[in-house]
Structure 1
Protein backbone atom coordinates (compact mmCIF):
# COMPACT_ATOMS: atom_id res chain seq x y z
CA UNK A 1 0.00 0.00 0.00
CA UNK A 2 1.35 3.42 -1.01
CA UNK A 3 1.84 5.96 1.78
CA UNK A 4 -0.12 9.21 1.58
CA UNK A 5 1.03 12.74 2.35
CA UNK A 6 -1.66 15.32 3.10
CA UNK A 7 -0.92 18.95 2.35
CA UNK A 8 -0.81 21.72 -0.22
CA UNK A 9 2.05 22.29 -2.71
CA UNK A 10 2.38 25.98 -1.78
CA UNK A 11 2.60 25.37 1.97
CA UNK A 12 6.11 25.91 3.26
CA UNK A 13 6.06 23.20 5.93
CA UNK A 14 4.76 20.69 3.36
CA UNK A 15 7.88 21.31 1.29
CA UNK A 16 10.05 19.76 3.98
CA UNK A 17 8.70 16.18 3.77
CA UNK A 18 8.23 16.52 0.01
CA UNK A 19 11.94 17.27 -0.36
CA UNK A 20 12.79 14.26 1.81
CA UNK A 21 10.44 12.03 -0.19
CA UNK A 22 12.11 13.06 -3.45
CA UNK A 23 15.62 12.81 -2.00
CA UNK A 24 14.97 9.26 -0.79
CA UNK A 25 13.02 8.04 -3.84
CA UNK A 26 9.88 7.18 -1.89
CA UNK A 27 6.70 6.27 -3.79
CA UNK A 28 3.75 8.12 -2.28
CA UNK A 29 0.34 9.59 -3.01
CA UNK A 30 -0.14 13.31 -2.52
CA UNK A 31 -3.56 14.21 -1.13
CA UNK A 32 -4.40 17.83 -1.74
CA UNK A 33 -5.95 19.67 1.20
CA UNK A 34 -8.09 22.46 -0.20
CA UNK A 35 -11.79 23.35 -0.62
CA UNK A 36 -11.96 21.26 -3.80
CA UNK A 37 -11.13 18.16 -1.74
CA UNK A 38 -13.35 18.38 1.37
CA UNK A 39 -12.70 14.75 2.27
CA UNK A 40 -8.99 15.51 2.60
CA UNK A 41 -9.72 18.62 4.65
CA UNK A 42 -11.85 16.53 6.99
CA UNK A 43 -9.16 13.85 7.25
CA UNK A 44 -6.52 16.49 7.98
CA UNK A 45 -8.65 17.70 10.86
CA UNK A 46 -8.47 14.20 12.31
CA UNK A 47 -4.73 13.80 11.75
CA UNK A 48 -3.52 17.04 13.33
CA UNK A 49 -4.59 18.66 16.62
CA UNK A 50 -4.81 22.00 14.80
CA UNK A 51 -5.77 20.72 11.34
CA UNK A 52 -2.50 22.07 9.97
CA UNK A 53 -0.61 20.09 7.37
CA UNK A 54 1.48 18.10 6.60
CA UNK A 55 0.55 14.65 7.84
CA UNK A 56 1.53 11.22 6.62
CA UNK A 57 -0.58 8.06 6.66
CA UNK A 58 1.04 4.65 6.30
CA UNK A 59 -1.59 1.95 6.78
CA UNK A 60 -2.54 2.25 10.47
CA UNK A 61 0.25 4.71 11.29
CA UNK A 62 -0.47 8.43 11.33
CA UNK A 63 2.35 10.95 11.63
CA UNK A 64 1.93 14.71 11.91
CA UNK A 65 4.54 17.50 12.09
CA UNK A 66 7.04 17.89 9.28
CA UNK A 67 10.18 16.86 11.16
CA UNK A 68 8.51 13.75 12.56
CA UNK A 69 7.37 12.79 9.05
CA UNK A 70 10.94 13.09 7.77
CA UNK A 71 12.30 10.96 10.61
CA UNK A 72 9.55 8.38 10.02
CA UNK A 73 10.58 8.13 6.36
CA UNK A 74 14.18 7.54 7.44
CA UNK A 75 13.04 4.61 9.56
CA UNK A 76 10.59 2.92 7.24
CA UNK A 77 10.71 4.16 3.65
CA UNK A 78 13.11 5.06 0.88
CA UNK A 79 16.44 4.00 -0.49
CA UNK A 80 18.42 7.22 -0.29
CA UNK A 81 20.72 8.48 2.43
CA UNK A 82 18.81 9.17 5.68
CA UNK A 83 17.95 12.79 6.24
CA UNK A 84 18.91 12.48 9.91
CA UNK A 85 22.49 11.16 10.19
CA UNK A 86 22.97 7.88 12.01
CA UNK A 87 25.89 9.20 14.03
CA UNK A 88 24.38 10.79 17.19
CA UNK A 89 26.78 13.74 17.13
CA UNK A 90 25.94 14.54 13.52
CA UNK A 91 22.25 13.98 14.20
CA UNK A 92 22.43 16.56 17.00
CA UNK A 93 23.97 19.13 14.64
CA UNK A 94 21.38 18.43 11.95
CA UNK A 95 18.47 18.70 14.38
CA UNK A 96 19.88 21.89 15.92
CA UNK A 97 20.13 23.59 12.53
CA UNK A 98 16.66 22.35 11.64
CA UNK A 99 15.32 24.09 14.76
CA UNK A 100 17.18 27.28 13.82
CA UNK A 101 15.55 27.40 10.40
CA UNK A 102 12.13 26.43 11.76
CA UNK A 103 12.09 28.79 14.75
CA UNK A 104 14.17 31.77 13.65
CA UNK A 105 13.60 31.93 9.86
CA UNK A 106 10.39 30.06 9.15
CA UNK A 107 8.38 31.31 12.14
CA UNK A 108 9.06 35.07 11.74
CA UNK A 109 8.54 34.77 7.97
CA UNK A 110 5.12 33.24 8.60
CA UNK A 111 4.36 35.97 11.13
CA UNK A 112 4.88 38.59 8.44
CA UNK A 113 2.81 36.66 5.90
CA UNK A 114 0.07 35.97 8.45
CA UNK A 115 -0.13 39.64 9.31
CA UNK A 116 -0.71 40.48 5.64
CA UNK A 117 -3.67 38.08 5.59
CA UNK A 118 -5.44 39.92 8.41
CA UNK A 119 -7.95 42.69 7.96
CA UNK A 120 -6.58 46.21 8.36
CA UNK A 121 -7.91 46.63 11.89
CA UNK A 122 -6.39 43.36 13.12
CA UNK A 123 -2.85 43.87 11.87
CA UNK A 124 0.12 44.01 14.21
CA UNK A 125 2.78 46.44 12.91
CA UNK A 126 4.95 45.96 16.01
CA UNK A 127 4.89 42.19 15.52
CA UNK A 128 6.09 42.63 11.94
CA UNK A 129 8.92 44.92 13.06
CA UNK A 130 9.99 42.32 15.64
CA UNK A 131 9.80 39.52 13.07
CA UNK A 132 11.98 41.44 10.64
CA UNK A 133 14.50 42.15 13.40
CA UNK A 134 14.64 38.44 14.24
CA UNK A 135 15.25 37.58 10.59
CA UNK A 136 18.09 40.12 10.46
CA UNK A 137 19.69 38.59 13.55
CA UNK A 138 19.40 35.07 12.19
CA UNK A 139 20.72 36.07 8.75
CA UNK A 140 23.76 37.56 10.51
CA UNK A 141 24.21 34.43 12.66
CA UNK A 142 24.01 32.11 9.66
CA UNK A 143 26.36 34.09 7.41
CA UNK A 144 29.73 33.12 9.00
CA UNK A 145 28.55 29.56 9.65
CA UNK A 146 27.84 28.99 5.96
CA UNK A 147 30.96 30.57 4.49
CA UNK A 148 32.93 27.31 4.41
CA UNK A 149 29.97 24.94 3.99
CA UNK A 150 28.05 23.57 1.05
CA UNK A 151 25.12 22.46 3.22
CA UNK A 152 23.83 23.46 6.64
CA UNK A 153 25.20 20.56 8.71
CA UNK A 154 27.30 17.41 8.69
CA UNK A 155 28.91 18.03 5.31
CA UNK A 156 25.93 16.72 3.34
CA UNK A 157 22.27 17.35 2.56
CA UNK A 158 20.18 16.60 5.66
CA UNK A 159 16.91 17.38 7.41
CA UNK A 160 18.41 20.81 8.15
CA UNK A 161 18.46 21.61 4.44
CA UNK A 162 14.91 20.29 4.07
CA UNK A 163 13.98 22.94 6.65
CA UNK A 164 16.19 25.66 5.20
CA UNK A 165 14.84 25.44 1.65
CA UNK A 166 11.25 26.63 2.25
CA UNK A 167 12.27 28.92 5.12
CA UNK A 168 14.85 30.83 3.08
CA UNK A 169 12.82 30.68 -0.14
CA UNK A 170 9.89 32.56 1.35
CA UNK A 171 11.87 34.63 3.87
CA UNK A 172 13.85 36.22 1.04
CA UNK A 173 10.54 37.18 -0.54
CA UNK A 174 9.25 39.00 2.55
CA UNK A 175 12.55 40.28 3.97
CA UNK A 176 15.35 40.05 1.36
CA UNK A 177 18.73 38.68 2.37
CA UNK A 178 21.12 41.68 2.37
CA UNK A 179 23.85 41.82 -0.27
CA UNK A 180 26.57 41.68 2.39
CA UNK A 181 25.36 38.19 3.41
CA UNK A 182 26.82 36.62 0.28
CA UNK A 183 27.36 33.17 1.81
CA UNK A 184 23.74 32.93 2.92
CA UNK A 185 22.49 34.07 -0.49
CA UNK A 186 24.75 31.52 -2.20
CA UNK A 187 23.46 28.78 0.08
CA UNK A 188 19.87 29.69 -0.82
CA UNK A 189 20.82 29.50 -4.51
CA UNK A 190 22.37 26.05 -4.00
CA UNK A 191 19.21 24.88 -2.30
CA UNK A 192 17.03 26.07 -5.18
CA UNK A 193 19.31 24.32 -7.68
CA UNK A 194 19.02 20.98 -5.86
CA UNK A 195 16.72 18.74 -7.98
CA UNK A 196 14.43 17.80 -5.06
CA UNK A 197 14.00 21.46 -4.09
CA UNK A 198 13.61 22.65 -7.67
CA UNK A 199 10.82 20.10 -8.05
CA UNK A 200 8.81 21.41 -5.09
CA UNK A 201 9.35 25.00 -6.26
CA UNK A 202 7.94 24.09 -9.68
CA UNK A 203 5.02 22.17 -8.20
CA UNK A 204 4.10 25.24 -6.13
CA UNK A 205 4.50 27.69 -9.01
CA UNK A 206 0.81 27.59 -10.14
CA UNK A 207 -0.27 28.84 -6.70
CA UNK A 208 1.89 31.95 -6.44
CA UNK A 209 -1.13 34.20 -6.78
CA UNK A 210 -2.08 33.02 -3.26
CA UNK A 211 0.91 34.86 -1.76
CA UNK A 212 -0.63 37.83 0.07
CA UNK A 213 2.38 40.13 -0.32
CA UNK A 214 2.72 39.51 -4.05
CA UNK A 215 5.16 36.88 -5.29
CA UNK A 216 8.26 38.49 -6.80
CA UNK A 217 9.05 37.84 -10.45
CA UNK A 218 12.00 35.57 -9.70
CA UNK A 219 12.93 32.14 -8.37
Structure 2
Protein backbone atom coordinates (compact mmCIF):
# COMPACT_ATOMS: atom_id res chain seq x y z
CA UNK A 1 0.00 0.00 0.00
CA UNK A 2 1.34 3.44 -0.99
CA UNK A 3 0.25 6.91 0.08
CA UNK A 4 1.18 9.74 -2.27
CA UNK A 5 1.27 12.90 -0.20
CA UNK A 6 2.82 16.28 0.52
CA UNK A 7 4.12 16.83 4.05
CA UNK A 8 2.43 20.25 4.43
CA UNK A 9 -0.94 19.10 3.10
CA UNK A 10 -3.53 18.62 5.82
CA UNK A 11 -5.53 16.41 3.49
CA UNK A 12 -2.47 14.20 3.14
CA UNK A 13 -1.90 14.22 6.87
CA UNK A 14 -5.38 12.97 7.70
CA UNK A 15 -4.80 9.92 5.49
CA UNK A 16 -1.32 9.38 6.97
CA UNK A 17 -2.69 9.78 10.48
CA UNK A 18 -5.45 7.23 10.01
CA UNK A 19 -3.14 4.65 8.45
CA UNK A 20 -0.93 5.02 11.51
CA UNK A 21 -3.81 4.93 14.02
CA UNK A 22 -5.07 1.60 12.64
CA UNK A 23 -1.55 0.15 12.38
CA UNK A 24 -1.68 -0.38 8.63
CA UNK A 25 1.79 -0.76 7.02
CA UNK A 26 2.27 1.54 4.04
CA UNK A 27 4.88 3.39 2.02
CA UNK A 28 4.95 7.17 1.91
CA UNK A 29 5.62 8.69 -1.51
CA UNK A 30 6.32 12.43 -1.42
CA UNK A 31 4.91 14.48 -4.28
CA UNK A 32 6.80 17.71 -5.06
CA UNK A 33 4.01 20.25 -5.43
CA UNK A 34 6.46 23.11 -5.97
CA UNK A 35 7.81 21.30 -9.04
CA UNK A 36 4.19 20.62 -10.10
CA UNK A 37 4.73 16.87 -9.97
CA UNK A 38 1.02 16.53 -9.22
CA UNK A 39 0.18 17.99 -12.63
CA UNK A 40 2.44 15.69 -14.63
CA UNK A 41 0.98 12.90 -16.83
CA UNK A 42 2.26 10.10 -14.61
CA UNK A 43 0.53 11.46 -11.52
CA UNK A 44 -2.61 12.46 -13.43
CA UNK A 45 -3.05 8.80 -14.35
CA UNK A 46 -3.52 8.17 -10.62
CA UNK A 47 -5.65 11.23 -9.96
CA UNK A 48 -6.98 13.24 -12.93
CA UNK A 49 -7.76 16.09 -10.52
CA UNK A 50 -4.03 16.48 -9.84
CA UNK A 51 -4.38 16.50 -6.06
CA UNK A 52 -2.85 14.72 -3.08
CA UNK A 53 -3.33 12.43 -1.29
CA UNK A 54 -3.73 9.29 -3.38
CA UNK A 55 -3.85 5.81 -1.87
CA UNK A 56 -2.71 2.89 -4.03
CA UNK A 57 -3.70 -0.52 -2.68
CA UNK A 58 -2.69 -3.11 -5.26
CA UNK A 59 -4.85 -2.45 -8.29
CA UNK A 60 -7.14 -0.12 -6.35
CA UNK A 61 -6.54 3.63 -6.47
CA UNK A 62 -8.43 5.88 -4.05
CA UNK A 63 -8.35 9.65 -4.36
CA UNK A 64 -9.78 12.25 -1.96
CA UNK A 65 -8.70 12.18 1.67
CA UNK A 66 -12.15 11.50 3.14
CA UNK A 67 -12.74 8.71 0.61
CA UNK A 68 -9.44 7.18 1.73
CA UNK A 69 -10.64 7.20 5.36
CA UNK A 70 -13.86 5.46 4.35
CA UNK A 71 -12.03 2.93 2.17
CA UNK A 72 -9.58 1.99 4.89
CA UNK A 73 -12.36 1.68 7.48
CA UNK A 74 -14.42 -0.59 5.24
CA UNK A 75 -11.47 -2.66 3.99
CA UNK A 76 -10.24 -3.40 7.50
CA UNK A 77 -13.63 -3.72 9.17
CA UNK A 78 -13.03 -0.75 11.46
CA UNK A 79 -16.62 -0.29 12.59
CA UNK A 80 -15.34 1.55 15.66
CA UNK A 81 -13.92 4.26 13.38
CA UNK A 82 -16.84 4.17 10.93
CA UNK A 83 -19.99 2.94 12.68
CA UNK A 84 -22.59 1.09 10.64
CA UNK A 85 -25.78 2.00 12.47
CA UNK A 86 -27.77 4.54 10.41
CA UNK A 87 -27.71 7.32 12.99
CA UNK A 88 -24.03 6.99 13.86
CA UNK A 89 -22.95 6.64 10.22
CA UNK A 90 -24.97 9.73 9.30
CA UNK A 91 -23.35 11.74 12.12
CA UNK A 92 -19.87 10.77 10.91
CA UNK A 93 -20.82 11.73 7.33
CA UNK A 94 -22.13 15.08 8.54
CA UNK A 95 -18.73 15.94 9.99
CA UNK A 96 -16.87 14.59 6.96
CA UNK A 97 -18.89 17.13 4.98
CA UNK A 98 -17.81 19.84 7.42
CA UNK A 99 -14.18 18.82 6.86
CA UNK A 100 -14.65 19.07 3.10
CA UNK A 101 -16.56 22.34 3.32
CA UNK A 102 -16.31 24.66 6.33
CA UNK A 103 -12.85 23.46 7.37
CA UNK A 104 -11.49 23.57 3.81
CA UNK A 105 -12.80 27.09 3.22
CA UNK A 106 -12.03 28.30 6.73
CA UNK A 107 -8.85 27.33 8.61
CA UNK A 108 -7.37 25.39 5.70
CA UNK A 109 -7.84 28.32 3.31
CA UNK A 110 -6.43 30.81 5.82
CA UNK A 111 -3.36 28.61 6.18
CA UNK A 112 -2.94 28.39 2.40
CA UNK A 113 -2.31 32.15 2.41
CA UNK A 114 0.56 32.01 4.89
CA UNK A 115 2.12 28.65 3.95
CA UNK A 116 1.68 28.67 0.17
CA UNK A 117 1.01 32.37 -0.58
CA UNK A 118 -2.33 31.43 -2.13
CA UNK A 119 -4.36 34.31 -3.62
CA UNK A 120 -7.21 33.91 -1.13
CA UNK A 121 -9.16 36.49 0.89
CA UNK A 122 -7.50 35.78 4.23
CA UNK A 123 -9.92 37.91 6.25
CA UNK A 124 -12.94 36.02 4.92
CA UNK A 125 -11.26 32.65 5.48
CA UNK A 126 -10.40 33.56 9.08
CA UNK A 127 -13.99 34.67 9.70
CA UNK A 128 -15.31 31.36 8.33
CA UNK A 129 -12.78 29.50 10.49
CA UNK A 130 -14.13 31.06 13.66
CA UNK A 131 -17.71 30.16 12.74
CA UNK A 132 -16.90 26.46 12.31
CA UNK A 133 -14.62 26.37 15.35
CA UNK A 134 -17.45 27.76 17.51
CA UNK A 135 -19.77 25.02 16.22
CA UNK A 136 -17.15 22.38 16.93
CA UNK A 137 -16.51 23.81 20.38
CA UNK A 138 -20.22 23.74 21.20
CA UNK A 139 -20.45 20.10 20.10
CA UNK A 140 -17.37 19.11 22.08
CA UNK A 141 -18.75 20.76 25.21
CA UNK A 142 -21.05 17.75 25.55
CA UNK A 143 -18.90 15.00 24.03
CA UNK A 144 -15.26 13.96 24.13
CA UNK A 145 -15.37 13.16 20.42
CA UNK A 146 -16.98 15.02 17.54
CA UNK A 147 -19.38 12.34 16.28
CA UNK A 148 -20.00 10.03 19.21
CA UNK A 149 -18.69 8.41 22.37
CA UNK A 150 -15.40 7.30 20.79
CA UNK A 151 -13.04 8.58 18.08
CA UNK A 152 -14.15 8.11 14.48
CA UNK A 153 -12.85 9.07 11.08
CA UNK A 154 -14.73 12.35 11.55
CA UNK A 155 -12.22 13.32 14.25
CA UNK A 156 -9.36 12.34 11.95
CA UNK A 157 -10.80 14.38 9.06
CA UNK A 158 -11.17 17.50 11.20
CA UNK A 159 -7.91 17.27 13.13
CA UNK A 160 -5.10 18.40 10.82
CA UNK A 161 -6.30 21.82 9.68
CA UNK A 162 -7.82 22.55 13.09
CA UNK A 163 -4.53 21.80 14.83
CA UNK A 164 -2.62 24.06 12.46
CA UNK A 165 -5.24 26.83 12.29
CA UNK A 166 -2.91 29.25 14.13
CA UNK A 167 -0.53 29.05 11.15
CA UNK A 168 -3.26 30.91 9.23
CA UNK A 169 -3.76 33.53 11.96
CA UNK A 170 -6.74 31.66 13.42
CA UNK A 171 -6.42 31.80 17.21
CA UNK A 172 -7.71 28.76 19.12
CA UNK A 173 -7.56 30.47 22.52
CA UNK A 174 -11.32 30.91 22.83
CA UNK A 175 -12.09 27.27 22.03
CA UNK A 176 -11.19 25.31 25.16
CA UNK A 177 -13.19 22.24 24.17
CA UNK A 178 -11.52 22.14 20.75
CA UNK A 179 -8.08 22.42 22.33
CA UNK A 180 -8.86 19.60 24.77
CA UNK A 181 -10.14 17.47 21.86
CA UNK A 182 -6.90 18.10 19.92
CA UNK A 183 -4.95 16.88 22.94
CA UNK A 184 -7.08 13.72 23.13
CA UNK A 185 -6.36 12.92 19.49
CA UNK A 186 -2.66 13.56 20.02
CA UNK A 187 -2.70 11.06 22.90
CA UNK A 188 -4.11 8.22 20.78
CA UNK A 189 -1.76 5.26 20.16
CA UNK A 190 -0.25 5.59 16.69
CA UNK A 191 -0.68 9.37 16.47
CA UNK A 192 1.65 11.10 14.00
CA UNK A 193 2.21 14.84 14.10
CA UNK A 194 1.33 17.13 11.20
CA UNK A 195 4.49 19.01 10.20
CA UNK A 196 4.57 22.48 11.72
CA UNK A 197 5.34 25.67 9.78
CA UNK A 198 6.55 28.83 11.59
CA UNK A 199 4.03 31.23 10.04
CA UNK A 200 0.95 33.11 11.18
CA UNK A 201 0.54 33.09 14.94
CA UNK A 202 3.32 30.49 15.24
CA UNK A 203 5.95 32.64 13.51
TM-score (norm 1): 0.78
Matches within 5 A, 1:12-23: 12-23=10-21
Higher helix share: 1
CA distance in structure 2 between the partners assigned to 1:215 and 1:48 by the alignment: 34
How well do the aligned residues superpose, as a CA RMSD in angstroms? 2.7
Aligned to 2:84, what secondary structure does the other structure show?
A: coil
Q: Which residue of 1 aligns with 2:186?
A: 192
Q: Deviations over 1:153-195 (max 9, x none)?
A: 121111111112102111133201133x221221122223333
User: Structure 1's 38 and 102: CA in aligned 2 closer, same or farther, altered over 3 A?
Assistant: closer
- Structure with larger Rg: 1
User: Structure 1's 81 and 27: CA in aligned 2 closer, same or farther, altered over 3 A?
Assistant: farther
Q: Which residue of 1 aligns with 2:202?
A: 216
Aligned to 2:148, what secondary structure does the other structure show?
A: coil
CA distance in structure 2 between the partners assigned to 1:176 and 1:102 by the alignment: 21
Deviation at 1:115, TM superposition (A): 3.0
Q: Which residue of 2 aligns with 1:50?
A: 49
Matches within 5 A, 1:104-123: 104-116=102-114, 117-118=116-117, 123=119
Q: Which residue of 1 aligns with 2:124?
A: 130
Identify the match of residue 149 of structure 1 among 143, 157, 179: 143
Contact 2:4-2:53 within 8 A present in 1 as well? yes
CA distance in structure 1 between the partners assigned to 2:103 and 2:36 by the alignment: 31
- How many correspondences in the alignment? 200
Aligned to 1:196, what secondary structure does the other structure show?
A: coil
TM-score (norm 2): 0.84
Identify the match of residue 97 of structure 1 among 87, 95, 98: 95
Deviation at 1:114, TM superposition (A): 2.9
Deviation at 1:81, TM superposition (A): 5.0
Structure 1 alignment gaps of length 5 or more = none
